Amino acid sequence: MTNKPRTNLFSVFTLILISSSSLAAEQPNNPTNKVLGSNQTFAITHVNVISMEKDKETINNATVVIQDKKILNINGEIPANAEIIDGKNKWLIPGLIDMHVHTNASINFKGNQPTQGATFFMDTQYVMTTYVANGVTTVFELDGRVAHFAQRNEIASGQVIGPRMALAPVINGGDQSNGGRIVNTASDARQAVRSLKAEGYNFVKVYSHLNVESFEAVIDEASKQGLKVVGHIPDAFKGKTAQAFVPHFGLVAHAEEYSKQIRNRNMTAQDAEYFAEITKNNGTWVTPNLLALVSIANQARSLDSIRTMDTLKYVHPILQDKWLTSNQYHKNASPENIAYFERLIDFHKALVKAFKKAGVPMLVGTDAGTSGILTGFSLHDELALLVEAGMTNEETLMAATRLPAEWLGIEDTVGTVSVGKYADLILLNANPLDDISNTRAIDGVFVNGTWLDKDQIDAMLLKLAKWNESMKDHYKWSNRKNYN
């Protein structure tokens, strides 16, 4: 198993000089040719509303009115100027939240020069298209950096249709090559947290190489500064995992964080129950991220798992090339580690069962953007895996809507279909409570009050696929330092 940060490589930690020039006087990049952020009014009629509010039944045959980006009423008056969307035999659910992503952004591949920003540019609309096409309207970026602030501004200004973005930058330990902001003492750890707060972050990600005192200091200082903590269980806690569960360690980013603690020995149901107990006792939540290991195992077995993805066409050509020509999971594969990955997948499913039994809140996160895991599409894959692991359809939907909104502290504005909240919504052609795969049956999506119907979504995806195809010969991973 790699012990390096599992990033999308556009987030190579050593390349810190990142910026986006795309705010510079570009034409609004709007694939729908609509005026974004307009105060359009909509009424979805005869729709079955799965609000995801606590203990609330589906409201059948309802009318939902959207005005000024927000839900104005449910079964109230329809304003005269409203555009009618026929919701007959359709279901309305909240927009989905992916709690573990690595979003590509423009980057400097060449090194630090006083006036040089990025050397490799990514079109922000293309980066965001697969999220919105899949109804992913909020993401939690777990390698937050300056380039993501720029993307977030492009979305907020209406130049780009994209999800809301919460950002957690990485604090790590050991030497610089480990990636992230490196701290090896408690006082450096506290200073790093204060710096992140000053830079405008609301969250911190703790990483694998932190020593015990630095880990504890990050979490304590983050709590004092009002930042929430997500992340890994550092390797330093092997043999004493319970000690990592200190107050304010808010969210574990992968089920794999637990299995890494007991690597090189059998993983049993008792282990899963023990981990669930220490997690529950500390009030920590978990993003199981089952898809990550399933995808890694598939790539280790064969690169055909990448080649045959029907969604590969939506991946930037330089990344398609990287996933196929510089794939570490495949390069390091052996029958032994493939067998190990398979045992891990089983253990992670056992963990989900144990967390459920113990009452540990679980959130949906996918490691989207890393090799083989496609932003937006991945969320639906993870929902299916969580159901396979023993969660109900409703529990998985909750784990991708109301609960992550609560963890992020944005539950007053998104996460349920409720009057007064922003219109982040998905209109589905089938009921996801009957079959979780119905979350893929998307008829249209509201992103912050902007309506994208199926035709518009398909047009956005087609445009992206065409551009990627046309640039295939131009962008090669091995040539990344030579662009611009």
Which residue is it, tokens 């329809």? 78
Q: Closer to Zn ion at the Cβ: 142 or 206?
A: 142
| Shortest Å, Cβ 295 to Zn ion | 12
Q: Which stretch binds Zn ion (CB under 5 A): 184-192, 308-316, 345-353, 362-370?
A: 362-370
Write out the chain in H/E/C secondary structure.
Answer: CCCCCCCCCCCCCCCCCCCCCCCCCCCCCCCCCCCCCCCCCEEEEEEEECCCCCCCCCEEEEEEEEECCEEEEECCCCCCCCEEEECCCCEEEECEEEEEECCCCCECCCCCCCCCCCCECCCHHHHHHHHHHCCEEEEEECCCCHHHHHHHHHHHCCCCCCCEEEECCEEECCCHHHCCEECCCHHHHHHHHHHHHHHCCCEEEECCCCCHHHHHHHHHHHHHHCCEEEECCCHHHCCCHHHHCCCCEEEECCCHHHHHHCCCCCCCHHHHHHHHHHHHHCCCEECCCHHHHHHHHHHHHCCHHHHCCCCHHHCCHHHHHHHHHCCHHHHCCCHHHHHHHHHHHHHHHHHHHHHHHHCCCECCCCCECCCCCCCCHHHHHHHHHHHHCCCCHHHHHHHCCHHHHHHHCCCCCCCCCCCCCECCEEEECCCCCCCHHHHHCEEEEEECCEEEEHHHHHHHHHHHHHHHHHCCCCCCHHHHHHCC
Q: Closer to Zn ion at the Cβ: 43 or 142?
A: 142
Q: Closer to Zn ion at the Cβ: 143 or 154?
A: 143
Is residue 424 a contact residue for Zn ion (CB under 5 A)? Answer: no
Q: Closer to Zn ion at the Cβ: 71 or 142?
A: 142
| Shortest Å, Cβ 299 to Zn ion | 15
Residues 367, 381, 382, 443: which binds Zn ion (CB under 5 A)? 367
Q: Closer to Zn ion at the Cβ: 211 or 287?
A: 287
| Shortest Å, Cβ 130 to Zn ion | 17
| Shortest Å, Cβ 100 to Zn ion | 5
Q: Which stretch binds Zn ion (CB under 5 A): 66-74, 192-200, 357-365, 366-374?
A: 366-374
CA distances from 441 to 284, 381, 427, 435 (A): 33, 13, 9, 11
Q: Closer to Zn ion at the Cβ: 367 or 381?
A: 367
Binding mask 130-169 for Zn ion (x = CB under 5 A): ------------x---------------------------
| Shortest Å, Cβ 292 to Zn ion | 7
Q: Which stretch binds Zn ion (CB under 5 A): 180-188, 307-315, 317-325, 360-368?
A: 360-368
Gap between the Cα atoms of 213 and 145, Å rounded: 25
Closest CB to Zn ion: residue number: 367
Gap between the Cα atoms of 82 and 63, Å rounded: 12
| Shortest Å, Cβ 474 to Zn ion | 28
Asked if 78 and 63 touch (Cβ cutoff 8 Å), the reply is yes
| Shortest Å, Cβ 126 to Zn ion | 21
Q: Which stretch binds Zn ion (CB under 5 A): 11-19, 154-162, 205-213, 365-373?
A: 365-373
Q: Closer to Zn ion at the Cβ: 142 or 182?
A: 142
Q: Closer to Zn ion at the Cβ: 142 or 155?
A: 142
Q: Closer to Zn ion at the Cβ: 257 or 367?
A: 367
| Shortest Å, Cβ 367 to Zn ion | 4
Q: Which two tokens stand for residue 375?
A: 């932003």
Q: Which stretch binds Zn ion (CB under 5 A): 57-65, 182-190, 269-277, 361-369?
A: 361-369
| Shortest Å, Cβ 56 to Zn ion | 33
Q: Closer to Zn ion at the Cβ: 154 or 367?
A: 367
Q: Closer to Zn ion at the Cβ: 100 or 280?
A: 100
Three-point CA angle 68, 429, 419, nearest 5°: 30
Q: Residues 275 to 334: which contact Zn ion by CB under 5 A?
A: none
| Shortest Å, Cβ 483 to Zn ion | 26
Binding mask 25-64 for Zn ion (x = CB under 5 A): ----------------------------------------
| Shortest Å, Cβ 314 to Zn ion | 20
Q: How many residues bind Zn ion (CB under 5 A)?
A: 2
Residues within the interface to Zn ion (CB under 5 A): 142, 367
